[in-house]
């Protein structure tokens, strides 16, 4: 009882703090210094139409490299934590997925993968990019696992896709250090015309690599979680 009262007091204090912040908030009228720089320089310098992708892939590309590394680490730890003590034989077969889910997944999975590829490849033009597309690809994996819980994905293949795209990502970044303006500079390839698919230099290539890496990492997490189910 006292515990719950303490929690409510704490939340009330926090709520009062939030209310003060909310009352004092006026939306900005002008872009901040950094935002203004990105809005002014993205199109002429990098040739990308989507400012958010330009920030993630090129301006803050090093941070994105760190982020996919964090994601890789968490996928690896999930695999490690769940790997120990896995029973050799299942006690009972899982409930069958049902006609709707089984047939629906056969229809939907190719479409989901296509949408994921579309979102990844057009990341520098429209809303999207490597992370979003990678998550869509992994949702295809999730649907496959739901429809067929005993399905096993090749961890070797996932690892190979993941490490190959990661290594290419770093190698392209290093090439930028030598042949262009700096680490992960997208002007390694010609910038092209704004708004075309083959524009923005290296940006679509790096989006594809990020998408593959993120998709593989999420898929590996899902596969690890699914393989330990009802053990």
Query: Which residues contact other proteins (rule: CB under 8 A)?
Result: 4, 7, 10-11, 14-15, 18-19, 21-22, 25, 27-29, 31-32, 34-36, 38-40, 42-44, 49-52, 55-56, 60, 63-64, 67, 70-71, 74-75, 77-78, 81-82, 84-85, 125-127, 129, 131-132, 135, 194-195, 214, 218, 221, 224-225, 228, 231
User: Closest separation between CB of residue 17 and other proteins, Å?
Assistant: 9
Residue 65 and residue 173: Cα distance in Å, rounded?
Answer: 10
User: Closest separation between CB of residue 194 and other proteins, Å?
Assistant: 7
Whether 173 and 79 have beta carbons less than 8 Å apart is answered as no
Whether 212 and 119 have beta carbons less than 8 Å apart is answered as no
Q: Which is nearer to other proteins, 49 or 208 (CB)?
A: 49
Whether 161 and 212 have beta carbons less than 8 Å apart is answered as yes
Whether 201 and 186 have beta carbons less than 8 Å apart is answered as yes
User: Closest separation between CB of residue 165 and other proteins, Å?
Assistant: 15
Whether 120 and 211 have beta carbons less than 8 Å apart is answered as yes
Q: Which is nearer to other proteins, 78 or 208 (CB)?
A: 78
User: Closest separation between CB of residue 223 and other proteins, Å?
Assistant: 11
User: Closest separation between CB of residue 179 and other proteins, Å?
Assistant: 26
User: Closest separation between CB of residue 3 and other proteins, Å?
Assistant: 8
Q: Which is nearer to other proteins, 53 or 105 (CB)?
A: 53
Whether 229 and 199 have beta carbons less than 8 Å apart is answered as no
For 3-35, letters b (16+ CB in 10 Å) and e give eeeeeeeeeeeeeeeeeeeeeeeeeeeeeeeee
Q: Which is nearer to other proteins, 132 or 165 (CB)?
A: 132
Q: Which is nearer to other proteins, 33 or 178 (CB)?
A: 33
Q: What is the CA radius of gyration of the chain?
A: 22
Residue 71 and residue 64: Cα distance in Å, rounded?
Answer: 10
Q: Which is nearer to other proteins, 102 or 197 (CB)?
A: 197
């Amino acid at each position: 009882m006292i515990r719950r009262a303490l929690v409510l007091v704490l939340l009330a204090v926090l709520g009062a703090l939030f209310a003060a912040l909310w009352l004092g908030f006026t939306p900005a009228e002008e872009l901040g210094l950094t935002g203004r720089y990105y809005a002014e320089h993205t199109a002429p310098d990098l040739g990308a139409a989507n400012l958010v992708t330009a920030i993630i892939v090129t301006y803050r590309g090093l941070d994105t490299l760190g982020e996919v590394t964090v994601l890789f680490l968490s996928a690896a730890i999930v695999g490690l934590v769940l790997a120990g003590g896995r029973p050799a034989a299942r006690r009972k077969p899982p409930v069958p997925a049902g006609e709707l889910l089984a047939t629906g997944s056969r229809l939907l999975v190719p479409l989901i993968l296509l949408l994921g590829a579309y979102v990844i490849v057009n990341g520098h033009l429209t809303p999207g990019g490597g992370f979003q597309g990678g998550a869509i690809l992994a949702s295809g994996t999730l649907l496959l696992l739901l429809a067929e819980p005993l399905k096993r994905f090749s961890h070797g293949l996932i690892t190979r896709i993941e490490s190959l795209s990661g290594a290419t990502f770093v190698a392209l970044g290093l090439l930028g250090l030598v042949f262009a303006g700096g680490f992960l500079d997208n002007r390694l390839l010609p910038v092209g015309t704004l708004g075309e698919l083959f524009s923005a230099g290296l940006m679509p290539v790096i989006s594809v690599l990020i998408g593959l890496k993120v998709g593989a990492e999420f898929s590996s997490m899902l596969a690890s979680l699914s393989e330990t189910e009802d053990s």
